[in-house]
Amino acid sequence: MEDQRELLAGKSSPLEVIHHILQLNGEVQMKLVVLLWHWWNERNRIREGEKRRESQDLIYLIQRNAEEFLHLGATEKVCISKGIQSWQKPTDDFVKINSDGAFSASTGEGGWGYVIRDGDGEVICARAGNLSHQTNALQAEIRALGSYVSPTN
């Protein structure tokens, strides 16, 4: 990208820069647009008194942002399971704990639950509860995991 940056720096007008970028392939175009944005952003940061970032940090940001932008809207391949997996009993000398948490992003409310079973598959203990003020699914999952560890739930 350094060679492209030097070419852009040598252009005498914004119009020349745009014409140069439009002649390149899509991936290089994206990297150059992101490079220009970070270049301008870094200039503004320094002007406002912030410390200059290391070159390798900027390179990393530019590459990462360009990759993210190139993949926006791309659909991921759906992984199709080969066969149905069903719950299996633990061995005789173990218990099995299944827990789950869920939440609604629009309300911040959700729920948690767990079930503990012995080696025969018999329920030893099961509980469930409501959650409020959740910000993401991971938070709800952690509350579900913590519910059978903490005696206060």
φ, ψ for residue 42, nearest 5 deg: -65, -40
Alpha carbon distances (Å) from 130 to 66, 81, 117, 133: 41, 31, 22, 10
What's the pTM value of the predicted model, to 2 decimals? 0.45
Residue pair 135/108 in contact by the 8 Å Cβ criterion? yes
What residues have CB less than 8 Å from 82, skipping those under 6 apart? none
Q: Which domain holds residue 118?
A: 96-147
For residue 79, being part of any structural domain is answered with no
Q: pLDDT at position 49, please? A: 92
50 and 103 fall within a common domain = no
6 and 40 fall within a common domain = yes
For residue 51, being part of any structural domain is answered with yes
Identify the band that residue 149 occupies on the pLDDT scale cut at 50, 70 and 90: low
For residue 89, being part of any structural domain is answered with no
Q: pLDDT at position 63, please? A: 86
Q: Please report the sign of the dihedral spanned by the C-alpha atoms of residue 61, residue 64, residue 70, residue 74.
A: negative
Q: Mean pLDDT across the stretch 46-54? A: 90
62 and 105 fall within a common domain = no
Greater pLDDT, 112 or 1: 112
The total number of structural domains in the chain stands at 2
Q: pLDDT at position 81, please? A: 63
CA distance 100 to 98: 7
Q: How many residues does the chain have?
A: 153
60 and 19 fall within a common domain = yes
Q: What is the DSSP string of 19-31?
A: HHHHTS-HHHHHH
For residue 80, being part of any structural domain is answered with no
pLDDT, tens digit (0-9, with 9 covering 90-100), for 70-111: 887 666 666 666 677 787 888 888 888 888 888 888 888 888
CA distance 41 to 120: 63
Neighbour tally for 62: CB within 10 Å: 22
6 and 66 fall within a common domain = yes
Greater pLDDT, 22 or 81: 22
61 pLDDT exceeds 80? yes
For residue 76, being part of any structural domain is answered with no
